[in-house]
Structure 1
Amino acid sequence: MIKFKGGIMYRLIVSDLDGTLLRDDNTLSEYTKSIIHKVSQQGIEFMLATGRIFGGAKGYAKELNLDTPILSCNGALIKGTDGTVIYGKHIEPSPLTEVFHLLQGKELYFHFYGEENFYTRKLTDYMSRFYDLNKKLEEQERFPIIEVDPFEVAGKDSIYKVLAHCGTEEHERNELYELLKAVPGISVTSSWSNTFDICADQVNKGIAIERYAAEKGINPSEILCFGDNFNDLEMIQYAGMGVAVENAVTLVKETANYVTLSNNEDGVAKAIEKLILS
């Protein structure tokens, strides 16, 4: 715990990964790692909150020497770094099947996450990014990527998130968003300009952080959150200090209390140094 200007005591720092803590090449700078190490040494918890599958985030927790839980799938699944499930809310089979029918009917690419498995309807060029990310992990930490008929998975494995590739045309995005929002039992947000993230209803990073903070006796005023995209909005709103990176979408920057440098300029670490360590 450490004092910040105005006498505020921060006990928890939460950061998104892609587009926020990570540079565009999916790496962490030595400077960022050193700053996170400094705040951890001072008793402030540092937590990762990501739309990724758990297996796609735990390597970064290891690189940062974190022992705090990881909020994966936009908060639908919270697991300890040892893989212990702390909380999970999967999409129920009925709305999940409806989402699959909707996306397949529009011939859109999508993939979806179980607790451990990364499922895809078919292997495409779009998948190359995820294969590359997986290959960079140590062999024992890689997550299984499985090509499967989605309807065979619904009801057999707990699915925590569906990521749908929706293109960049605004009218197409808006139409798909409205169709997805009409499906009962799900929530819809976005972590990239050309995708939608689909989780169970009442799932977002803000709710997940609120749940964790309540169990730890941490007040919102003692929390500092960093993000860049729409799936970070609720945690930016919930935190006593919500910080957007410069490359964030406009709404996140307008909602945040403070805007730092971009993800490629160590924006998270620079803000921590300025707001807490200086």
Structure 2
Amino acid sequence: MNNIKMIALDMDGTLLHDDHSLSEMNANTIREVAAQGVEIVLCTGRSPVSTLPYLDKLGLEGVVITHNGAATVASKDKSMLHQFELSQMDLEPYLTYCNEEKVHYDINTAFDLYVNQVDLLSADWLNTYKQFLIEPKNFPGWDNLASPVLKLTMSGYKEDIDRVQQALSLWDHKVQFIRSGDFFIDIMHKEATKGNALKQLTQLRGISSDNVMAVGNYYNDMTMIQFAGIGVAMDNSPIDVKAAADEVTLSNNDDGVHAVLKKYFLS
């Protein structure tokens, strides 16, 4: 019998198939493990808006760690347990770069996503946001924001984001600059990581890292994989992520989450 009391699951590239679907295999296995009293925490770069529907599909309530650790939200009343905020000054150099280099970006508060002009978005961009259950809004200006900014996301084709990463890797960053997917770079508060958010949640629950399993597939998952007593990488992970993990499970499209949970909880 293991001593795992909490399982942190990344979503895209981990829990979900490449088409963003949640398989019955993964869902049923998670429900079985949750029924044993283990807390399931979705831990994702997504916003709460595009995360909570999947928790509903699983028939679970609890806490979701979103925006790569920048916002920890209770599902029941959507209350904020913790957030890491960014200032206009933090983001100004990145916004200038994006505007000069024509890099697409969006500005995120906990529950809203803003772009410069929604009516100028291409059908492709609108479709991408729709896939993530997001309805972009026009940025109202810094003084008119109702909530703090938590994340700036730059996105585009992989080769374009490779180029952006190469250029920005030469900068001296006062904030966190992380590649969160083939098509995304996120700018967040220095302390905003999945690992830090998970650590805070374990302290709230009175458990240690030894009581945690974390499953992920990309660079933004490494802090939680390293924090957890059992850190698991997907077979579709880059080599550095696999090297940081205690073990590697099957790929996301082969229901690797089901496989590793079955091994530890249902065999």
Taking structure 2 as the reference length, the TM-score comes to: 0.91
Deviates further, 77-86 or 88-97: 88-97
Q: What residue in structure 1 maps to residue 19 of structure 2?
A: 25
Matched, 1:88 2:87: no
Relative to structure 2, which stretch is displaced further, 163-172 or 102-111? Answer: 163-172
Report deviation, 1:98. Answer: 2.7
Partners of 2:210 and 2:62 in 1: how far apart?
A: 19
**Pick from 88, 96, 107: which aligns with 1:101?**
96
Q: Does 1:243 align with 2:232?
A: yes
1:177 match: 169
Match of residue 48 from structure 1: 42
Structure 1, unaligned stretches of length 5 or more? 135-142
| Letter in structure 2 aligned against 1:200 | H
Note if contact 2:108-2:152 (Cα within 8 Å) is conserved in structure 1.
Answer: yes
How far apart are residue 97 of structure 1 and its match?
2.4
The one-letter amino acid paired with 1:216 is R
Partners in 1 of 2:194 and 2:143 — Cα distance?
24
After TM superposition, the score normalised by the length of structure 1 is 0.88
- Is the Cα contact below 8 Å between 1:95 and 1:183 reproduced in 2? no
The residue matched to 2:177 in structure 1 has which SS?
Answer: strand
User: Structure 1 residues 145, 126: closer, same or farther in 2, change over 3 A?
Assistant: closer
Q: 2:177 corresponds to which residue?
A: 188
Residue equivalent to 2:71: 77
The CA distance in 2 between the partners of 1:171 and 1:128, in whole Å, is: 24
The answer to whether structure 1 residue 160 and structure 2 residue 155 are counterparts is no
Q: Distance between the aligned counterparts of 2:67 and 2:9, measured in 1?
A: 14
Paired residue total:
259
Alpha-carbon distance change, 99 to 27 in structure 1, aligned in 2, over 3 angstroms: same
Name the structure 2 match of 1:126: 125
Match of 2:29 among 35, 47, 56: 35
3-state SS in 2 of match to 1:113: strand
The RMSD of aligned alpha carbons is 1.7
State the secondary structure of the residue aligned to 2:170.
Answer: helix
The 1-side partners of 2:154 and 2:261 are apart by: 33
- Judge conservation of contact 1:92–1:200 (CA < 8 Å) in 2: no
Is the 8 Å Cα contact of residues 243 and 257 (structure 1) preserved in structure 2? yes
Alignment check: 8 A CA contact 1:93 1:155 kept: no
Cα deviation for residue 112 of structure 1 reads 2.1
Identity of matched residues, % = 27
**Structure 2 unaligned blocks of 5 or more:** none
1:154/1:262 Cα in 2 relative to 1: closer, same or farther (>3 Å)? farther
- Give the corresponding residue for 1:216: 205
CA deviation map 1:80-134 (0-9, x unaligned): 1121111111112211223212221221111121122111224132342112332
Contact 1:245 / 1:263 at 8 angstroms: preserved in 2?
Answer: yes
SS in 1 for 2:137: strand
What's the CA shift for 1:31?
Answer: 1.3
Which residue identity lines up with residue 115 of structure 1 in the other structure? A
Within 1, Cα distance between the matches of 2:128 and 2:95?
22
Is the contact made by 1:93 and 1:154 (CA closer than 8 Å) also made in structure 2?
no
Residues of 1 paired with 2:74 and 2:198: CA distance? Answer: 14
Residue pair 2:218, 2:238 contacting (<8 A) in 1 also: yes
Post-superposition Cα deviations, 1:225-252, rounded to whole Å, max 9, x if no partner, equal 0001110010000001100111111111
Q: Distance in 2 between matches of 1:74 and 1:172?
A: 20
| Change over 3 Å in CA distance of 1:51–1:154 after alignment to 2 | farther
